[in-house]
Structure 1
Amino acid sequence: MNNLKEILSKANRIDMFSPYFFLPFILILYFFVSLFDFHRFEQFRISESIWPAVILALVCYYIGVYIIDKLKWIIPSFGLSFWGKYVVHFVVFLTLLGLASFLMILFSGGLGISDESNRRNLSPKLYFFSQLLWFGVLLLLSYKMILEEKMTLKKAFVYGLIFAAVMFLFLLNGYRTPLIIMLFTGIIIFHYVVKRVKLTWFLSALFIIAVAFSMFGFIRVLTEDLTIESNSREQPNVDLTIEEKAKLLTAEQKVNLTPKWIRAINQESVTGHIVLSTIIEYTKEEDYLKGEIHRGIFNTVLPGEQTSPRMRVTEVVNSIGAEKGKWITRPTRTTTPTFIGQLFLDGGYLLVAIGFLLYGALISLIYNKVKRAGIRSFHAVAYAFVITVFTVSMHTGFLDLIFILMLGFVVIASSIIKIDKPKLQY
């Protein structure tokens, strides 16, 4: 018993949100949980191991973090420090623009939580700009929190209520990603400014949050209107051998032995595992897409009808799934490829290595600036936001132009804001 207490005591002293722990821990946990697949791997007949790509990603990430950490490099200001005093003013402008766009969505009756089809049919431009609302509120509230001379639990509760109100607004749109980013950025700020979050508490909270968001997605699927064509659950009409049909039927029977609500708990990670394995299988048969996925991020803003990167991923994985008699994703839906899958599809192991090396380096550059400036600085907000977005992208991929622009803004803002005398160091 004493040994267990000692182990827990040491674990609770870990800075969970440092570059060395948070993102790698979530990535390992994500794919570990996916191993409890309830026979879904057999159902989709996945054949390629994801672990070489996952291990390579982790190793390269750590190399990026370690090199920058040891060199003590920070993001340079590029001679633009005089713009630093206008950062907050610009964030306020973005917030007001986001509020106007959100109100237009609200009064148009296009809330996604009431109908899944509404969520997919939201005006792309309005939804794009409406996200500036939660982004601006997140930055402004977080920055206000860290500037508090004395942050009490009562003040933290008030800030939490404001966070919750904005999160509820975006809950109405039926999208989970903004909620997760707001939630974890807020937790990281709370950890550094209000009260250190212990590992045991964090793991408990992580489990509750994961189950809550999984059930949110589960209920969203259960309430679909199946009379709408885009909600069709028909499977591909392909000729399978008698043996293949028998194997597919047996696998589906095994899957159905587990109640749907239990399968929903780790549905996202299991699907991510299946998608990544299928992407690896596709590239062996058809070669890499050589930048098509990443070009598609920017092509979506061009005039005319464009195929989004996630829809292209759907086409890729379903080209394999159709041969096996089972769609990986319904053809009318987009597919989250995981960040590893996104990189692998365009350039294989080489691009995975480069991508995670750059991830690690960028996170470490910002973390080093936080260590110089102290946690009561905008740099702490920038770090919390960046590492949260990167961590969420382990599942979603990094394919949304709005998130790329947000990330770019935060990184540039952190680089040009001067380092004052630190009020509080790590």
Structure 2
Amino acid sequence: MKILKETLAKVNRIDMFSPYFFLPFILVLYFFTSLFDFHRYEQFKISESIWPAVILALICYYIGVYIIDKLQWTIPSFGLSLFGKYVIYFVVLLTSLGLACYLMMIFGGGLGISDESNRRNLDPKLNFFSQLLWFGILLLLSYKMILEEKMTWKKAFVYGSIFATVMFLFLLMGYRTPLIIMLFTGIIIFHYVVKRVKLTWFLSILLVIAVVFSMFGFIRVLTEDLTKESNSRDQPDVELTVEEKEKLLTAEQKVNLTPKWILAINQESVTGHIVLSTIIEYTQKEDYLKGEIHRGIFNTILPGEQISPRMKVSEVVNPISVEKGKWITRPPRTTTPTFIGQLFLDGGYLLVAVGFLLYGVLISLIYNKVKQAGIRSFHAVAYAFVITVFTVSMHTGLLDLIFILMLGFVIVASSVIKTDKKNLQY
């Protein structure tokens, strides 16, 4: 018992939100939970191993973090320090723009939570700019918390209530990603400013959050209006041999032995594993897309009809799965490729290595700024936001232009804002 207590005490002293722990831990946990597939890999006839790509990603990420940590480099100001005092005013302007667009979308009938097809048909321009509402409020609230000389539980409750209200507003749109980003950014700020969150507590919280958001997606699917063609659950009409049909039917029967709510708990990670494996299979047959996915991020703002990066991923993985008698993603829906899959599809192992090396470098650069300037600074807010978005992109991929712009703004803002260098301990 004493040994167990001492071990837990050592574990709880870990700064779980440091670059060395948080993102790698979530990435490993994500793919570890995907191992409990309940015969779904057999159903989709997965043939390619994802583990070489995952291990390479982790190694390169750690190399990036370690090099910058040892050199103690931070993001330079690029000679723009004069603009630091205007950052908060600009955030207020962005928040106002986001609020206006959000109200216009909601009053226009944009409740994405009511049905999956509604969520996909939200006005793209209003949807794009409405994201600035939660982004701006997140930065303003987090920075306000950071500046509190004495953070009491009462104040923490007030801030938490405002966070919850904004999260509810975006819950109405049916999107989980902004909710997760707000939630984890808030937890990280709470960890550094209010009370250090022990690892054992965090694991418990993480389990609850994972189950809640999994059930959110599960209920969203259950409540779909099946009379709409876009919500059809019919499988592809493809000719299979008698042996192939029997194998597919046997696999489906095995999957159906597991209750649907249990399948839903790790549905996202299992699907991510399936998509990544299928992407690797595609590149072996058809070669890499050589930048097409990443160009597509910016092409979506061009006039005319453009194919989004996630729709392109659907066009890549679905033809392979159709040959096996199953849709990975029901048309006309899009596919989240995981960040590893996003990089692999465009440039294979080389791009995976470069991408995760840059992730490690960027996160470590901002973390060093926090260590130098103190936690009561905008740098702590920037770090919390950046590492959260990077971690969430392990599943979603970093394919939304709005998130890339948000990251760019936060990183530049962190580099130009001056601090009084209060090296406070946490």
Taking structure 1 as the reference length, what is the TM-score of the superposition? 0.99
Q: Which amino acid is 2:160 matched to?
A: G
Asked if the contact 1:372–1:419 (Cα under 8 Å) also holds between the matched residues in 2, the reply is no
Question: Which residue in 1 is equivalent to 2:178?
Answer: 178
Provide the rounded CA distance (Å) in 2 between the counterparts of 1:140 and 1:425: 23
Question: Which residue in 1 is equivalent to 2:397?
Answer: 397
Question: Which residue in 2 is equivalent to 1:124?
Answer: 124
SS of 2:113's partner is coil
SS of 1:149's partner is coil
**Residue 118 (structure 1) shift:** 1.1
**Residue 302 (structure 1) shift:** 0.4
Comparing 93-102 with 109-118, greater Cα deviation is found at 109-118
Question: Which residue in 1 is equivalent to 2:103?
Answer: 103
SS of 1:57's partner is helix
Runs of 4+ in 1 over 2 A off after TM superposition: none
Q: Which amino acid is 1:30 matched to?
A: Y
Provide the rounded CA distance (Å) in 2 between the counterparts of 1:423 and 1:137: 26
Question: Which residue in 1 is equivalent to 2:332?
Answer: 332
**Residue 80 (structure 1) shift:** 0.3
Comparing 135-144 with 324-333, greater Cα deviation is found at 324-333
**Residue 257 (structure 1) shift:** 0.1
Provide the rounded CA distance (Å) in 2 between the counterparts of 1:326 and 1:353: 31
Provide the rounded CA distance (Å) in 2 between the counterparts of 1:408 and 1:4: 44
**Residue 175 (structure 1) shift:** 0.2
Paired residues for 1:244-283 under 5 Å: 244-283=244-283
SS of 1:113's partner is helix
Provide the rounded CA distance (Å) in 1 between the counterparts of 2:424 and 2:86: 24
Deviations along 1:364-383, one digit per CA (max 9) or x if unpaired, are 00000000000000000000
Q: Which amino acid is 1:314 matched to?
A: S
Are 1:217 and 2:179 matched, yes or no?
no
Asked if the contact 2:371–2:423 (Cα under 8 Å) also holds between the matched residues in 1, the reply is no
Asked if the contact 2:372–2:423 (Cα under 8 Å) also holds between the matched residues in 1, the reply is no
Q: Which amino acid is 1:272 matched to?
A: G
Q: Which amino acid is 1:36 matched to?
A: F
Q: Which amino acid is 1:318 matched to?
A: N
Paired residues for 1:14-413 under 5 Å: 14-413=14-413
Asked if the contact 2:128–2:402 (Cα under 8 Å) also holds between the matched residues in 1, the reply is yes
Provide the rounded CA distance (Å) in 2 between the counterparts of 1:98 and 1:193: 27
**Residue 58 (structure 1) shift:** 0.1
Asked if the contact 1:373–1:425 (Cα under 8 Å) also holds between the matched residues in 2, the reply is no
Deviations along 1:116-164, one digit per CA (max 9) or x if unpaired, are 2111100000000000000000000000000000001110010000000
Question: Which residue in 2 is equivalent to 1:424?
Answer: 424
Provide the rounded CA distance (Å) in 1 between the counterparts of 2:311 and 2:20: 33
Asked if the contact 1:280–1:344 (Cα under 8 Å) also holds between the matched residues in 2, the reply is yes
SS of 2:275's partner is helix
Comparing 97-106 with 416-425, greater Cα deviation is found at 416-425
Asked if the contact 2:101–2:130 (Cα under 8 Å) also holds between the matched residues in 1, the reply is yes
Asked if the contact 1:371–1:425 (Cα under 8 Å) also holds between the matched residues in 2, the reply is no
Provide the rounded CA distance (Å) in 2 between the counterparts of 1:331 and 1:51: 28
**Residue 238 (structure 1) shift:** 1.3
Deviations along 1:283-314, one digit per CA (max 9) or x if unpaired, are 00110000000000000000000010000000
Q: Which amino acid is 1:343 matched to?
A: L
**Aligned pairs, how many?**
426
Q: Which amino acid is 1:324 matched to?
A: K
Provide the rounded CA distance (Å) in 2 between the counterparts of 1:348 and 1:116: 33
Asked if the contact 2:339–2:396 (Cα under 8 Å) also holds between the matched residues in 1, the reply is yes
Provide the rounded CA distance (Å) in 2 between the counterparts of 1:24 and 1:134: 26
Provide the rounded CA distance (Å) in 2 between the counterparts of 1:7 and 1:400: 41
**Residue 419 (structure 1) shift:** 3.3
Asked if the contact 1:315–1:331 (Cα under 8 Å) also holds between the matched residues in 2, the reply is no
SS of 1:419's partner is coil
Unaligned segments of structure 1, at least 5 residues:
none
Sequence identity (%): 86
Taking structure 2 as the reference length, what is the TM-score of the superposition? 0.99
Asked if the contact 1:279–1:316 (Cα under 8 Å) also holds between the matched residues in 2, the reply is yes
SS of 1:11's partner is helix
Provide the rounded CA distance (Å) in 1 between the counterparts of 2:397 and 2:69: 26
Provide the rounded CA distance (Å) in 2 between the counterparts of 1:231 and 1:238: 20
**Residue 421 (structure 1) shift:** 2.5
SS of 1:191's partner is helix
**Residue 109 (structure 1) shift:** 1.3
Provide the rounded CA distance (Å) in 1 between the counterparts of 2:411 and 2:163: 22
SS of 1:421's partner is coil
SS of 2:112's partner is coil
Q: Which amino acid is 1:409 matched to?
A: F
Provide the rounded CA distance (Å) in 2 between the counterparts of 1:295 and 1:289: 10
Deviations along 1:368-419, one digit per CA (max 9) or x if unpaired, are 0000000000000000000000000000000000000000000000011123
Q: Which amino acid is 1:123 matched to?
A: D
Asked if the contact 1:224–1:231 (Cα under 8 Å) also holds between the matched residues in 2, the reply is yes
**Residue 423 (structure 1) shift:** 5.0
Deviations along 1:321-355, one digit per CA (max 9) or x if unpaired, are 01111111112110000000000000000000000
